């Protein structure tokens, strides 16, 4: 199995744990918790900031000493927009599940500090449709660059069955602004129905990195550099949660030259 594909370790508790050290990079961390009603997860952000995404289910949240109440509403990532919480560096947070709960914890370095805890409601989130035909996908911006944070960029994408996504292939692995920004990235994948599967390729122009992976429900794919398109098979919609971070908080990407003609067709 590719070292870029992270399978969930268990069915409950912290099932996925990606740190900058385990990924071999500098910025992005990603944890996925699956909790039963009454179970609690908590942490200190330290010198990192966090975005808590209620992927499915509900829970009572506190952050930075504030009681945020019961958050979450959807029971499937394919139904509506998520609730999320931004937690700055130097803060404590906790979530106690009131239903079966799938909680994503997205982290990156805190650079400036001073930002407040922020509740990100579904009604706060912008959505857009990208692509056309068999390259159509539906994007929900949870923590885009025009909203306050130090490092994190967080977005959800739903790709209809049989479609491609993150396509035509693009990359963001050079600190070469304004043309391209350096951003590490994780993909957390879910399928509907859950027995579905798809494919993701991570590769560079010189093919020094060239990994093609079958992806299944619950997988996380690491994108340290290179292009990273994915596709889902007929009959199975694909959801993924992207976490990106780098030295500068902006998403500027470079399209693969040989496939850029697709944008003009």
User: Cα(113)–Cα(84) distance, rounded to whole angstroms?
Assistant: 19
Q: Would you state the pLDDT for residue 114?
A: 82
| Biggest distance spanned by C-alpha atoms of the chain | 53
Instruction: Write the class of the CATH domain 9-263.
Output: mainly beta
Q: What is the pLDDT along the chain (265 residues), one digit of tens a residue?
A: 689 999 999 999 999 999 999 999 999 999 999 999 999 999 999 999 999 999 999 999 999 999 999 999 999 999 999 999 999 999 999 999 999 999 999 999 999 778 999 999 999 999 999 999 999 999 999 999 999 999 999 999 999 999 999 999 999 999 999 999 999 999 999 999 999 999 999 999 999 999 999 999 999 999 999 999 999 999 999 999 999 999 999 999 999 999 999 998 6
As a whole number of angstroms, the distance between CA 151 and CA 112 comes to: 10
Residue with tokens 């997860």: 41
Residue 130, Cβ density class (10 Å: 0-12 exposed, 13-18 middle, ≥19 buried):
middle
Domain spans of the chain? Answer: 9-263
Contacts of 63 (CB under 8 A, 6+ apart): 52, 85, 87, 91, 92, 93, 94, 117
């Amino acid at each position: 199995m590719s070292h870029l594909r992270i399978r969930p370790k268990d069915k409950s508790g912290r099932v996925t744990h990606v740190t900058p050290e385990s990924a071999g990079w500098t910025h992005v961390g990603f944890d996925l918790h699956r909790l039963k009603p009454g179970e609690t997860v908590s942490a200190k952000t330290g010198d990192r900031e966090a975005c808590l995404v209620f992927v499915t289910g509900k829970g009572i949240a506190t952050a930075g000493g504030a009681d945020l109440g019961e958050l979450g509403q959807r029971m499937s990532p394919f139904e509506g927009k998520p609730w999320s919480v931004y937690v700055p560096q130097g803060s404590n947070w906790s979530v106690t599940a009131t239903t079966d709960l799938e909680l994503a914890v997205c982290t990156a370095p805190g650079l400036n500090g001073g930002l407040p805890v922020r509740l990100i409601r579904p009604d706060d989130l912008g959505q857009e449709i990208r692509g056309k035909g068999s390259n159509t996908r539906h994007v929900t911006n949870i923590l885009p660059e025009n909203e306050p944070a130090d490092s994190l960029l967080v977005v959800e994408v739903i790709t209809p069955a049989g479609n491609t996504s993150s396509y035509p292939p693009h990359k963001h692995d050079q600190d070469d602004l304004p043309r391209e920004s350096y951003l590490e990235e994780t993909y957390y994948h879910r399928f509907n129905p859950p027995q579905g599967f798809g494919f993701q390729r991570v590769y560079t122009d010189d093919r020094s990195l060239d990994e093609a992976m079958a992806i299944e429900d619950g997988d996380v794919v690491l994108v340290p550099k290179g292009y990273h398109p994915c596709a889902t098979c007929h009959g199975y919609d694909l959801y993924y949660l992207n976490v990106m971070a780098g030295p500068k908080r902006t998403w500027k990407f470079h399209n693969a030259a040989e496939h850029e003609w697709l944008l003009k067709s």
